[in-house]
């Protein structure tokens, strides 16, 4: 088993996820600016939003400690997978 990541590395990874989420949000906003594109690709746009939410959830977990951070993450499926992994 490898050694645990340092808090500074985890914070850096969380920051990278925040940057990725920002790029996804900008992409989504560009795509919905064209109403025809938005109407044709609503499911794909929702998927982009979901990926951004997952990035934010993982970033929350990386910045936190233990169960408290897990519960602060907004996507329950991530929390459930972490709990199952620990359990």
One DSSP character per residue, 7-40 reads: HHHHHHHHHHHHHHHHHHHHHHHHHHTSHHHHHH
Q: How much is the pLDDT for 24?
A: 95
Averaged pLDDT, 1-10: 80
Name the nearest CA neighbour of 27 among 11, 41, 13: 41
The ranges assigned to domains in the chain are: 7-86
* pLDDT tens-digit series, residues 40-79: 999 999 999 999 999 999 999 898 855 555 555 566 665 5
Asked if 25 and 52 count as a contact pair (C-beta separation under 8 A), the reply is yes
Write down the mean pLDDT value for the chain: 83
CA nearest 58: which of 69, 49, 48? 69
């Amino acid at each position: 088993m490898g050694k645990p990541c340092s808090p500074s590395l985890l914070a850096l990874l969380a920051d990278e996820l925040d940057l990725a989420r920002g790029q996804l949000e900008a992409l989504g906003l560009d795509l919905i600016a064209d109403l025809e594109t938005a109407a044709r690709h609503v499911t794909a746009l929702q998927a982009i939003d979901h990926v951004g939410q997952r990035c934010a959830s993982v970033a929350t977990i990386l910045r936190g400690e233990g169960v408290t951070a897990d519960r602060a993450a907004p996507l329950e499926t991530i929390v459930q997978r972490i709990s199952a992994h620990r359990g």
